[in-house]
Copies of this chain bind each other. A is one copy, B any other.
Amino acid sequence: MTIQILSRVKSFGGWQIQFEHASAVNNCTMRCSLYLPPQAEQHAVPLLYWLSGLTCSDENFVQKAGAQQHAAMHGVAIVCPDTSPRGEQVPDVAEAYDFGKGAGFYLSATQAPWAEHYHMDKYICQELPPLLQNEFAIEGAIDGRQGIMGHSMGGHGALTLALKNPQRYRSVSAFAPIASPMNCPWGEKALTGYLGANRETWFDYDSCHLIRQASGHKFHLLVEQGMADPFLKEQLKPELLTAACRAADYPLTLNERPDYDHSYFFIASFIGEHIAFHARQLADG
């Protein structure tokens, strides 16, 4: 597996890199962004994943979150995958912003025509780590010293991937996550389309369900939520996450932030606290 570097720009003493590579699991070419902090020139560094929300590519977080300064301070790399498979041969629903390209929902599709390309969960958990380990100076990608975080659809992705793969991640956090895709319009549309109408097949992609089923290792979940978020009541429903964590005695810190919305201005305001939260756990042991 080889990568092609598209750009490499100096940022806060490190390098912001964009590359593309052939993806076997998504059966297409994937684009990906990676920030390497200055420490990576001296020694291998741990890795933090950022999973973006609906309509985003690998670039939104890179340009708008202001995360590089914190990654440089703590000496962690941040990888930003795209949010879906891409390319002319990949099926899409051109008029929908919440299904198809830009809306992969971090799952493995089983329904035609999506199943041929839409496997963002396997892409992030299985395909990216060895590629990053082999191509860049990163220590966490294979030994499991990784953290994962995301926003909205990507908050759902971060929570579900961590809950199902506790051996792969040491830390997890989310900004305004879709707390329970089984119980909101965005989630029901995506799960129906990618997985079919049988709701039994959906449980594996619902954070609240996974939290209720959790046994063994428990993460300390850190969740940030703006209280002026226009999607709060209909789509995000943090109260379902709170209820699931309470029922399962699962550790959750939910920060409700008055006046903040769903935008990258909200993310930028608190990304420093999240990266510090991950860095503490990535440094342990």
**A269 on the B face (CB < 8 A):** yes
Q: Tell me which of B9, B68, B268 contacts A68 (CB under 8 A).
A: B268
Q: Which one of A112-120, A145-153, A176-184, A256-264 is at the B interface? A: A256-264
Q: Which residues of B contact A257 (CB under 8 A)?
A: 10
Q: Which residues of B contact A261 (CB under 8 A)?
A: 9-10
Q: Which residues of B contact A266 (CB under 8 A)?
A: 10-11
Interface contact A268-B11, CB-CB below 8 Å: yes
How many copies of the polypeptide does the oligomer hold? 2
Count contacts on A: residues with CB < 8 A to the other chain: 23
**A63 on the B face (CB < 8 A):** yes
Interface contact A10-B226, CB-CB below 8 Å: yes
Q: Which residues of B contact A260 (CB under 8 A)?
A: 10
Q: Which residues of B contact A64 (CB under 8 A)?
A: 63-64
Residue of B nearest to A62 (CB): B265
Interface contact A265-B228, CB-CB below 8 Å: no
In the complex, what distance in Å separates the CA atom of A16 from the CA atom of B64? Answer: 14
Query: What are 28 A-B pairs with beta-carbon distances under 8 A?
Result: A9-B261, A9-B265, A10-B228, A10-B257, A10-B259, A10-B260, A10-B261, A10-B265, A10-B269, A11-B265, A11-B266, A11-B268, A11-B269, A12-B268, A12-B269, A13-B269, A63-B63, A63-B64, A63-B264, A64-B64, A66-B66, A66-B69, A66-B268, A68-B265, A68-B268, A68-B269, A69-B268, A69-B269
A residues touching B (Cβ–Cβ < 8 Å)? 9-13, 16, 63-64, 66, 68-69, 226, 228, 257, 259-261, 263-266, 268-269
